[in-house]
Structure 1
Amino acid sequence: MFTVRPPVRRRALAAPGTAVALALVLAACGSSGSSGDSSSMPGMDHGATASASPTASASPSSDSPTMGHMPGMDHMAGGNGLASVKDGYRLTSRNASLPAGKRTAYRFTVTGPDGTPVSAFALDQTKPMHFYAIRSDLTGFQHLHPTMAADGTWTADLAALTPGAWRMFASFTPDGGAGKGTAFVLSRRVTVPGTEKRTPVPAAATTARVDGYTVTVQGRPMAGMSHPLTVTVTKDGRPVTSLQPYLDTYAHLTAFHEGDTAFAHLHPTTHVDGDHGGPKLAFDAELPSAGDWRLFLQFRTGGKLHTAALTLNAG
């Protein structure tokens, strides 16, 4: 049985040689879903299921072919998430490929510096493990909360995948051992056989629409620099003030860099006060490298999870 400890503050995510501090009160990106912890729309599958999870993996190394939270706290993991090993923690999986067109399970294990599966994790936004899947063209986004078996094997139940190259990310904080209290994001590549149809990354924009909601972003992030951004949520031209807590915040934001799928995670800084979030969410964002970033913003209203997607350019 794994044990879960109270949440810990996570360090800012940074690309190699670059410090990354992301404090966020926004989120962006397009897709909606059914009530509960999942949402989906063409090109994006956003699932979230209850879970339990192991410990962090790794120390920098290329991946192998198998390729509570306090409002206002910025929880980010060190590195850009593109390694499968960091600081002795390793993400392992026998799933080098997964089938296309149907729900499938991705199984993985996180081992510690001693080579044994990690079983004690601190909660981050109410979960011991956050799992993300993204295709190389930044489509098909999924955010899940996998479950862990007694032997330390995690299972993420993925929605149908389209053919192409994918990357699977595991985000966690060990609650024991050498990495106790340290946030990790590790990943592995996965191939989905079939004829790949790539989708160009949409041009940078300041607005995104999903399920009748409009998300507007003011401000432009600069690579390696903290920069203020304000996100406003409206519906039918009227301010939305009924955002509900989702994972103990009003918005969950994940970003992926065009070209290498580098990972960044930003959290709201706005104080959570029941079902009264919005319309404005303010945050300081620092993206580690220049270029286009695809942002996936998840927020809840009326018990339904929405996922908006948009592209922002870091200068």
Structure 2
Amino acid sequence: MSFTSRPTLRRRGFAVAATATVLALTLAACGSSKDSSGSSTAAKDHGAKASASSSATTGGMDHGSMPGMDHGGMGDGLADAKDGYKLSSGTGELPAGKDSAYRFTITAPDGKPVTGFAVDQTKRMHFYAIRSDLTGFQHVHPAMAADGTWTADLAALRPGTWRMFASFTPDNGPGKGKDFVLSRTVTVPGDAKPTPLPGAATSAEADGYTATVKGDLMAGMTHPMTVAISKDGKPVTDLQPYLETYAHLTAFHEGDGAFAHLHPQTKVNGDRGGPELSFQTMLPKSGNWRLFLQFQTGGKLHTAALTLRVS
């Protein structure tokens, strides 16, 4: 199996062109048995809630059917606007310690809300919330109203500054077929003491599973990387498809929070994934990256988080 870099999803033709401009990778998280604000946390997955766009629209290419597409052209996701498309929200603050909803819209160059989105890994919108110190993380799939307003339901957030990322591909207009990742920050009031980022490691635990990463990465260069999944010291070979792949990987750069995303290239073959998942990984910046890997077994989603040093 092989994984390709994600800030920009979809289409074989775009994958070839984007490879030259890759800016990212993937180990994301949708759902976890731990609280979403913890250092190894991932949020509950709201992907089961069908969005208005996915239920009302069947047109457009399903990019999720093309595993391992290269999304490097998305950029690092640290801006709220790109190429005329803008992430807008009236929410600048969310409450601490309880579930909340973040509402937003994506507007096109003409200023009108976008309501047509292409499918990527079974969803028309992927949404990520990451705490500024990278110790809190959620990946959810919001629902869209008929007027283009999206609602992302978030599990309880710890006090601090959080960045909200929206990853999508317009299904019409001047940006049709182009992958975007845009973001804005929100404040969660309270005692916002930063949590030190765990040191660089080659493995992480999640729900009794161990994810072990192998590969020497250098900033701005594509290198092979493998992630091996084991449990009780034994290789895991019953990984189930999750978002039409065997793992979802999202990464964030320490310091600025730059976004990167990866997922397997190899076509899923039933519930027999593992034990090793292969990636062609390109991270654009040196330093520490916090990786969030999601995988599914027995109908349960697991999220493993580790710090990876890129030279």
TM-score for both structures, normalised by structure 2: 0.86
Deviation digits for residues 31-71 of structure 1, max 9, x if unmatched?
8339xxxx8573424222134377xxxxxxxxxxxxx2322
**One-letter code aligned to 2:22:** V
1:131 and 2:127 are equivalent in the alignment: yes
Counterpart for residue 312 of structure 1: 308
1:247 maps to: 243
Instruction: Report percent identity of matched pairs.
Output: 65
Cα deviations by residue, 1:130-177 (Å, 9 ceiling, x for unpaired): 000000000220000000111111000110111111100000000100
Higher helix content, 1 or 2: 2
The CA distance in 1 between the partners of 2:245 and 2:88, in whole Å, is: 30
Structure 1: segments with no counterpart, 5+ residues:
1-6, 55-67
- Taking a change above 3 Å as real, the CA distance of residues 40 and 310 of structure 1, as seen in their structure-2 partners, is same
- Paired amino acid for 2:110: D
User: Aligned partners of 1:285, 1:98: CA distance in 2, in Å?
Assistant: 34
- What RMSD in Å do the two structures reach over aligned CA positions? 2.4
SS at match of 1:46: coil
1:99-148 CA distances to partner (integer Å, 9 max, x unpaired)?
11110000000000000000111111000000000000002200000001
- CA deviations 1:250-292 (Å, max 9, x no partner) are 0000000000100001111233100000001111100011000
Kept in 2: contact 1:31–1:211 (CA 8 A): no
Instruction: Name the amino acid aligned to 2:298.
Output: G
Name the CA distance, whole Å, in 1 between partners of 2:24 and 2:252: 13
User: Is 1:157 paired with 2:159?
Assistant: no
The question of 1:52 aligning with 2:48 is answered no
Partner of 2:165: 169
Query: For residues 264 and 159 of structure 2, what CA distance do their matches in structure 1 show?
Result: 34
Match of 2:79 in 1: 83
User: Aligned residue for 1:19?
Assistant: 21
Structure 1 residue ranges, 4+ long, deviating more than 4 angstroms after superposition: 9-14, 21-24, 27-31
Q: Which residue of 1 aligns with 2:116?
A: 120
Asked whether the equivalents of residues 45 and 159 of structure 1 are also in contact (C-alpha less than 8 Å), the reply is no
Instruction: Give the one of 194, 202, 205 matched to 1:209.
Output: 205
> Aligned partners of 1:220, 1:30: CA distance in 2, in Å?
27
Aligned match of 1:65: none
| Distance apart, 1:30 and its partner CA | 12
Cα gap change, 1:118 to 1:129, in 2 (>3 Å) = same
Q: Which amino acid aligns with 2:138?
A: Q
Whether the 8 Å CA contact 2:37–2:156 is kept in 1: the answer is no
Normalising by structure 1, what TM-score? 0.85
| Aligned length in residues | 287
